[in-house]
């Protein structure tokens, strides 16, 4: 069977080793004769899966002791409301920076719970850049950013400097690069881009962020509930948790976050170099804010998009269609995308340019 490289923005590429260990767990988990799909989350075989996953997050991100790791359900979209529900009092203010579709959705949810000040937006340029913000109100409960924007291919390479606690949606670049966790009061990330399959969401909460709002918080939406119950308040998505744990273990065996960052930067730089040097293609994001995870580009000649997508698919390159808001193409090159996949895409782009350029 021909090898296929998955450039989808999410659910995204996963390591082959993870598929193998996960498939084995589905058939017979730890020689119990049972599938992991049918086992109790409180069994002596499954409880260590949660413990190991939390320990791997702590180790890979070098978390200080005052941070709690949570595995939740509902995706990052539920975090859009959980964050203000837990952190923003009705008479208080939160600051947001609007850099794309997902930050826009987060802003909409936050406005249900308190005052929201949008400090800057790049909407006028179809979110092609990250606004530089220095005047951050000191009375804000928190500053919310989206660290990487999957649709528009922009990424924070330098986080804002502020005395206000930062909250970050890191769904599409978590574990892809090193950063100082202590700059953040809360981090959340859907798993299906860089950490595992859909169905589980990571939240990392600094303990002093909680317990400050006066409102009653529904039990299931209260971070403290899940801290107290070690992410076992209700039945977690056990299989998604296991795959995430296996993916984190794979990352550790690759040398950890610092090692994968070098690989990610090399992959992205090679692809951007082709886009910039080949007259048939043009990048969508400004160069200084380009993402190392999601690379959107367009044709400089009209009417070739459908043909290129088919051309690429015939060469085993899947998931390259760009988001409808900007069109063109998008190559998502997350941690598990091998360097061979980027090479295959570059070769395809060059071959197509010779035919149509």
As annotated, the active-site residues are 102, 169, 193
| 54 Cβ contact partners less than 8 Å away, ≥ 6 residues apart | 69, 71, 230, 231
Is 232 in contact with 211 (CB distance < 8 Å)?
A: no
Give the helix ranges, DSSP H, for the chain. Answer: 16-27, 47-60, 75-87, 101-110, 223-228, 238-253, 257-277, 305-314, 339-356
State how far the Cα of 226 lies from the Cα of 233, in Å rounded to an integer. 6
Question: What three-state secondary structure class fits 300?
Answer: coil
State how far the Cα of 305 lies from the Cα of 217, in Å rounded to an integer. 48
Is 190 in contact with 110 (CB distance < 8 Å)?
A: no
Backbone angles phi, psi at 74, to 5 degrees: 100, -5
Is 71 in contact with 197 (CB distance < 8 Å)?
A: no
- How many angstroms from the chain centroid is the CA of residue 111? 23
Virtual torsion, Cα 5, 8, 10, 16, nearest 10 deg: 0
Instruction: Give 71's strand partners.
Output: 202
Backbone angles phi, psi at 192, to 5 degrees: -80, 15
Q: What share of the chain is helix, strand, coil (3-state, %, to 5)?
A: 40, 20, 45
Q: Six-digit token pair at 139?
A: 């009375």
Instruction: Give 42's strand partners.
Output: none
Which residue has tokens 């730890």? 30
Which residue has tokens 């801290």? 227
State how far the Cα of 76 lies from the Cα of 70, in Å rounded to an integer. 13
């Amino acid at each position: 069977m021909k090898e296929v490289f998955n450039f989808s923005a999410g659910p995204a590429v996963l390591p082959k080793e993870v598929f193998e260990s996960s498939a084995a767990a589905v058939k017979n988990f730890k020689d119990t004769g049972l599938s992991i799909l049918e086992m109790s989350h409180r069994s002596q075989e499954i409880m260590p899966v949660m413990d190991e996953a939390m320990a791997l997050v702590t180790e890979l991100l070098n978390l200080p002791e005052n941070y709690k790791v949570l595995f939740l359900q509902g995706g990052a979209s539920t975090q859009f409301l959980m964050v203000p529900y837990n952190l923003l009092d009705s008479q208080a203010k939160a600051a947001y920076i609007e850099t794309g579709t997902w930050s826009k959705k987060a802003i909409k949810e936050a406005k249900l719970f308190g005052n929201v000040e949008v400090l800057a937006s790049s909407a006028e340029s179809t979110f092609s850049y990250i606004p530089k913000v220095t005047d951050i109100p000191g009375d804000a409960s928190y500053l919310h950013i989206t660290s990487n924007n999957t649709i528009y291919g922009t990424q924070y390479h330098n986080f804002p400097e502020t005395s206000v606690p930062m909250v970050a949606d890191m769904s599409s670049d978590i574990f892809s690069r090193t950063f100082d966790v202590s700059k953040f009061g809360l981090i959340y990330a859907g798993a299906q881009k860089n950490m595992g399959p859909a169905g589980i969401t990571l939240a990392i909460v600094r303990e002093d962020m909680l317990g400050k709002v006066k409102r009653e918080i529904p039990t299931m939406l209260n971070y403290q509930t899940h801290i107290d119950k070690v992410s076992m308040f209700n039945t977690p998505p056990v299989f998604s948790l296991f795959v995430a744990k296996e993916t984190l273990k794979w990352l550790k065996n690759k040398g950890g976050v610092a090692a994968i960052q070098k690989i990610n930067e090399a992959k992205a730089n090679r692809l951007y170099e082709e886009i910039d040097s080949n007259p048939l293609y043009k990048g969508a994001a400004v160069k200084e804010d380009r993402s190392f995870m999601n690379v959107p580009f367009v044709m400089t000649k009209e009417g070739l998009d459908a043909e290129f997508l088919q051309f690429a698919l015939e060469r085993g390159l899947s998931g390259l269609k760009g988001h409808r808001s900007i069109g063109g193409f998008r190559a998502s090159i997350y941690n598990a995308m091998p360097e061979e996949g980027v090479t295959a895409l570059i070769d395809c782009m060059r071959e197509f340019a010779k035919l149509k350029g």
